[in-house]
Amino acid sequence: MNKNYINIYNILIDYTRNKKLYISLNRKDNFSDRLRLFLLHFAFFLKNFKNKENKQILQEIYDFNFRQLELSIRELGYGDQSINKKMKIYINLFHSMVSEIHFWDDLEKKEKIQKLSLFFEDFNKIDELVEYFEDFKLNLTKKNLNYLLKGVINH
């Protein structure tokens, strides 16, 4: 396990724990809600730092994060067969998110709301999620990947 990658994972988990993200949910949040928000944070993270010089390290971070997710699912008590099915679902969901936000900067707010609604249909105020992820994306652009690898985080 690369200690640098656990820092990235923990930073993304920390963002996902933001209680404001769950305000528009008319029920108690669950593992699925937290996982979807984690995956969306991760998608924006990869989109922000994607370039030729970061290609290898981002692949390693991707592998590490999905390995961590698999361990979390195991801790919930799922068996090997169930874990394989769940991981396939989560990886497909993640790649759908990456695809939907690929042209995020070129989209109007209404289109962004439609994109996030695909993944957060049970959240009432998707426009607030859009604003949150706009701020998150902007915050990422101000950060250096090396600082994040070292675990330096300023919300």
Does the pLDDT of residue 153 top 80, yes or no? no
* pLDDT above 70: residue 26: yes
Q: Give, in degrees to the nearest 5, the angle at Cα 136 between 143 and 68.
A: 80
Contact yes or no for 103/94 (Cβ under 8 A): no
Q: Is residue 65 over pLDDT 70?
A: yes
Work out the number of other CB atoms within 10 angstroms of the CB of residue 147. Answer: 12
Alpha-carbon distance of 62 to 64, in angstroms, equals 5
Tokens of 83: 């874990």
Provide the pLDDT for residue 155.
Answer: 54
Lowest mean pLDDT among 56-60, 81-85, 141-145: 81-85
Q: DSSP labels for 39-79?
A: HHHHHHHHHHH-SGGGHHHHHHHHHHHHHHHHHHHHHTT--
Parse the chain into domains and list their residue ranges.
3-16+26-149
Could you give the residue ranges of the DSSP H alpha helices within the chain? 3-16, 31-49, 55-75, 80-101, 109-117, 126-141, 145-149
Rounded distance between C-alpha atoms, residue 83 and residue 70, angstroms? 7
pLDDT tens by residue, 29-58:
888 899 999 999 999 999 999 999 999 999
